[in-house]
Amino acid sequence: MAATDAAKGKPVVVVDDVHVIYKVFGTGKKARGAQGQLAKKTRMREVHAVKGVSFVVYEGETVGIVGSNGSGKSSLMRAIAGLFPVTKGAVYTFAKPTMLGVGAALLPNLSGEKNIMLGGLAIGYGKKEITAATESIINFSGLKDFIDLPMRTYSQGMSARLRFSIAASKKHDILIIDEALAVGDRQFRMKAEEKIRQMRQEAGT
């Protein structure tokens, strides 16, 4: 975990001994049943995704969470954003965190434009606000010629660009970024990187 050297202001995110544990069904060993047939037993497993993480983020700081694949980075960020329940410990924030990623769930049978409305309402826009922001979101995404088509016709890169453009259109007090740069082609990634730098300057944390 790495942090900027910004002068410490008030604490805005406090992560206190956070654990996140998932319960999932796993396939166990094969066993022979009463009829002599082999069958796989299913059993409940616990996955300890986050183990006792604690830190404090101060106003104006930028903190990076570093780790290998499967180490619990996304689970921790989702817990801080309030998207996953914390099994043990606690997360305290002075404002509602917003998680900027490319995995937001939009509806494939709706057009891109209607999904802008849906996604905007999901991240806290009012109806009038997202209506006013729609044109700039479409322009940023570069999908003007496709915005009336259902999202099921979009490529993976096009879908990711629209999701990013929706999420990046709003100012946030506490901004959490997870895989937000895995969007579209090289030209759009450069555009997204510049947008994230701008958002980091505007966001409190």
pLDDT of residue 199: 79
Q: 143 near 44, Cβ under 8 Å?
A: no
Radius of gyration of the chain (CA): 21
Lookup: tokens for 189: 């990634």
The residue among 159, 162, 157, 163 whose CA lies nearest residue 185 is 157
pLDDT of residue 88: 96
Question: Mean per-residue pLDDT for 88-94?
Answer: 95
- CB neighbour burial string for 58-81, b if at least 16 within 10 angstroms, e if fewer: bbebebebeeeeeebbbbbbbbbb
pLDDT of residue 36: 56
Lookup: tokens for 75: 């689970």
Q: Please tell me the CATH code under which domain 99-202 is placed.
A: 3.40.50.300
Residues near 170 by beta carbon (within 8 Å), at least 6 away in sequence: 98, 120, 123, 124, 125, 133
Cα end-to-end distance, the chain, whole Å:
15
Fold designation for 2-94:
Rossmann fold (3.40.50)
Residue 108 in this model has a pLDDT that exceeds 70: yes
Sign of CA dihedral 139, 200, 122, 159: positive
The residue among 78, 170, 187 whose CA lies nearest residue 125 is 170
pLDDT of residue 2: 57
Give whichever of 4-8, 96-100, 152-156, 174-178 has the largest mean pLDDT: 152-156
Residues near 68 by beta carbon (within 8 Å), at least 6 away in sequence: none
Q: 43 near 107, Cβ under 8 Å?
A: no
pLDDT of residue 136: 96
Q: Where in the chain is the domain with CATH 3.40.50.300?
A: 2-94, 99-202
pLDDT tens column, 1-58 = 655 555 567 899 999 999 999 888 766 555 555 555 655 666 788 889 999 999 999 9
Q: 166 near 135, Cβ under 8 Å?
A: no
pLDDT of residue 20: 95
